[in-house]
Structure 1
Amino acid sequence: MSMIGFPLLLIPLAICNIIVFLMPGVSFAAPLFTLTLVSGAAWPVTLSDALIALGILLLLFEVIKGARPGSKYFMDHLLSLLVFAGAAAEFVMLPQFGTSTYFLLTLLALVDFLSGIALRARRNARLAPADATVSRNKRQRDIETEGPRLDPEPAPSVPPAATVAESVLLDRPEPTTPHPVDIVRTSPEIRSPGLQPNDGAHPSPDTPPR
């Protein structure tokens, strides 16, 4: 298994299991060594302190590993969850692990799992605006490369046929009926002298024609 998907907090938990099952006579409260500080105070370092300090340092490496790009997020989360579930089950169900040291190590495993989820959510929220900016810049570059687009001229508006027919009917003059008197007045003159009208008077039969 690669170091990318390996849960580092499994190391102090595994050390606790080795001590509990294989070395039952070893006490977590027994001092490993004593350090003399500048103030002159003697600080006894126990096995419990060493395991908790190791767990804190490994948690720091887990956070750094989860924050870098390209890491296997799903595998890291799954393994961190399994480590926390196993540690919590041992702390609750087995009396040998009912100590403050093991409780703090279990709490560190929980922090590792929750911090991985928080880092992934933050990274996704930060990548979403960046992707939107890149796509917007790409569209802008495409528009500048294509150049200005010439809008087509609008097609001439054609009036509907009903409107044209109505305008033609309105412009056409109405036919006028001539009056009978006008017909009589405009009757053509007959060139034959014998056939000229005499205002309704009929010629006498005794008058010879001219």
Structure 2
Amino acid sequence: MAALGARSRHGPGRRAHRHGPARNLEFRRRRPGRGRPAGEQAATALNRALTLLATGETADDAGAERDRPARQRLHALADALTRRSGPPDRSRRAVLAEAGRTLAGHRDLVPQAVSLLVESLEPASMGADELHAALVELAALHADRPALAARTARTVGNGVQFARGAEAGDPEALLDVVARLAGTGDLTEGLFAAELTVACGRRTEWTGPWRTQLRMLRRHPCGDVRDVAYAQFTAAE
């Protein structure tokens, strides 16, 4: 009995010590995507967390010791999501877009929603119709927010201008999208068109179609759009 007790104390213990970590390692290897914000389950969990943070705060507004702790956590989460790394990822783009739409339903979280939606744009993997629809959806969030509209337009333009190689998207598709945005007369869509024109004009060294588009934007009904177009020159004196 003593020997049996010794085996029960030491034998299984040694096996658990030797094989337990191996089992854990094997389990981890079966889940290579663990921790990445991709897939339907990740999107659902993320949107639930964002909704709780957006709606769960009723006190501590500009207090002496605390100020909107849930909102601060939400800002940190949104900032972490928009820190881009690696090549374009369609599943990541879908997660970011859904998260942006979740926050867009809260009036005072529109800037964070916009950041997520902008980060979800991948011109290289989006056709002209899809990209145009995404930009129109994004523009609609900027009603009564002209300062935010200008910042967002610059961010969208910079994303194309400084993209690596083909990640900027197809120039023909972008030209089609820009023409459609510019033609509505809307301020935000016009700003998007102007900043994208500047970005693509610089990337192509101002080929004919982009010079034509710039001339058209200088006749846009919104003064802020015309200002962007007139601030850019296709040739230096």
Question: What is the TM-score of this pair, normalised by structure 1?
Answer: 0.29
**Structure ranking higher in helix proportion:** 2
**Structure ranking higher in strand proportion:** 1
